[in-house]
Amino acid sequence: MNSHPMVPSAAKFIRNLSLRERNTFGLEANAELAYEITAADQIPAVMGEILRQQLSWRVLGGGSNVVLPATLRGATLLMNIPGQEIISADAQSTLLSVRGGVIWHELVAWTLENDLPGLENLALIPGTVGAAPIQNIGAYGVELAQYIHSVQAFDIRTQTLTTLPKEACQFAYRDSYFKQQPNRFIVTNVVFEIPKEWQPRIHYADLAQQFSNNPTPTPEEIFLAVCKIRTQKLPDPKIIGNAGSFFQNPIIPVEQYETLLLKYPNLVSYPDIAGKRKLAAGWLIGQCCLKGERMGNVGVYEKQALVLVNYGNGTAQDILGLAKCIQEKVKKEFGVNLEIEPNIL
């Protein structure tokens, strides 16, 4: 009996693809060449071709953390690998394997439906599972890194699919080994370790307020509360283009924080690692009277100063011009540098 080796399916190839629907800013952008990746085993052939032609390239998931130019030269890999399954469980935890193209929020909902609580604080964060570890997404006192067991990625340098255990991922605040090595890894699969023992995490101000009369909410109640808070603060990208938080919360030395506190007693901040303080970037921008500010087709969202919005027909230049203006005003007022969170392609 002859056994045939599994032949990888070919990735779908499209020229001049509009990406307006694939970036949450709703920017008019065209990909010269696009490859739709629906299985990890398609990547070696695609990357082999890209490298042979010496094309520039990038991976696009949900497009929720990017600012796209009018034309994306070279090749754009659309990460559409579907599927998730439980791979093992013991008395302590459950291991859950999830493909890179799965929509993050849909995964969070699925974990609750399947009695695997833990990720509920990260509900409604836009984007795909493949992008989540690169940025080490976090919200309401929880970071993705707390739940990661390992990450599978295609390594451009070695041209192989490789698995990185959690320790090798070098997770930090909105940072990872993948982010530090741009254009080296394409994340194809993430294995999550969900502990069996669950505790509500509602110490973050907005959540604490929601549950002031209910100190022991269920995972589902936390999920719904997070969705409610995020919906109130952040505009729906389908209605008004945005990429969520546009700036990282700056981390400064305690001495600088104490000096600022003398001048601004209402300064909003959180403890960080020893000797550092994390400032609320949205508060800093708000103090510069920029909330609701509009510059042509783009502006600062009136309900949340951390969010830049595209009112329609805005371009990457418009958004970056506004961002630069904000950075300069915050630097002048507070002596603090704001770093842009989305990737500028």
CATH number at residue 92: 3.30.465.10
Q: Kindly state whether residues 19 and 99 are assigned to the same domain.
A: no
Does residue 2 lie in a domain region? no
174 annotated active-site: yes
Task: Report pTM.
Answer: 0.88
Active site residue 56: no
| End-to-end alpha carbon distance in the chain | 51
In the DSSP assignment, the letter for residue 302 is T
| Residue 148 and residue 50 share a domain | no
Domain total for the chain?
3
The answer to whether residues 48 and 132 belong to one domain is: no
Angle, alpha carbons 193-182-315 (nearest 5°): 105
Instruction: Please tell me which residue in 20, 58, 174, 184 is annotated as part of the active site.
Output: 174
Domain presence at residue 299: yes
Is 236 a domain residue?
Answer: no
Bridge partners (DSSP) listed for residue 278:
251, 270
Domain that holds residue 285: 241-344
In this structure, which long-range contacts are made by residues 73-76, counting pairs with CB atoms below 8 Å and at least 24 apart in sequence? 73/32, 74/32, 74/33, 74/50, 75/31, 75/32, 75/33, 75/34, 75/35, 75/46, 75/50, 76/17, 76/19, 76/31, 76/32, 76/33, 76/34, 76/35
Q: Is 269 a catalytic residue?
A: no
Q: Tens digit of pLDDT per residue, the chain (345 long)?
A: 444 444 567 899 999 999 999 999 999 999 999 999 999 999 999 999 999 999 999 999 999 999 999 999 999 999 999 999 999 999 999 999 999 999 999 999 999 999 999 999 999 999 999 999 999 999 999 999 999 999 999 999 999 999 999 999 999 988 999 999 999 999 999 999 999 999 999 998 889 999 999 999 999 999 999 999 999 888 999 999 999 999 999 999 999 999 999 999 999 998 887 889 999 999 999 999 999 999 999 999 999 999 999 999 999 999 999 999 999 999 999 999 999 999 999
Residue 67 sits in the same domain as residue 124: no
Determine, yes or no, domain membership for 211: no
Q: Which CATH number do you get for residue 37?
A: 3.30.43.10
Q: Which of 79, 98, 130 is the last residue of a domain?
A: 79
One domain, residues 37 and 106: no
Out of 64, 79, 94, a domain closes at: 79
Cβ neighbours of residue 344 closer than 8 Å, sequence gap 6 or more:
66, 67, 316, 320
Q: Are 309 and 298 in contact (CB under 8 A)?
A: yes
Residue of 99, 120, 245, 277 marked catalytic: 245
